[in-house]
Structure 1
């Protein structure tokens, strides 16, 4: 897992009361999510369709809770 941890994924600000930034690497199917508490989590194996739906969701926090949080392997980066 250490090789994934070193992989750099650029994150961009999003409009959400819970999530601060989101980054996605489609080649490696890595999704990084930074919360307003400054913690960053990396989710593995996230399909590009799920990422697109996440970014289009009216409530990113709700979408995250319902479709990402418990559906993928993850690690805390910070």
Structure 2
């Protein structure tokens, strides 16, 4: 999955697959996680948020099943 680099103190890049509704986040620590069944509007809101990290923690982190891929 292609990810877009973002300016964040915690997140390096963010990608999204509309077909599978998988949100992929690469953290500056090196870990890459996929969040399952994330609706497209959540991805759009995350990308447009003033703070990607704050949005992620508030709306995604504990609300969607995640799997670590690296």
**TM-score (norm: length of structure 2):** 0.97
**Rg larger for:** 1
Cα-Cα RMSD: 0.5
Structure 1 segments (4+ residues) deviating >4 Å: none
SS at structure 2 position matched to 1:72: coil
Residue of structure 1 in register with 2:63 after alignment: 71
Return 5+ residue gaps in structure 1 as ranges: 1-8
Residue of structure 2 in register with 1:11 after alignment: 3
Are positions 1:43 and 2:31 aligned together?
no
Residue of structure 2 in register with 1:5 after alignment: none
**TM-score (norm: length of structure 1):** 0.88
Q: State the Cα distance separating 1:12 from its structure 2 match.
A: 1.3
Count the aligned residue pairs: 70
Q: Within 5 A, what are the aligned runs for 1:50-65? A: 50-65=42-57
Return 5+ residue gaps in structure 2 as ranges: none
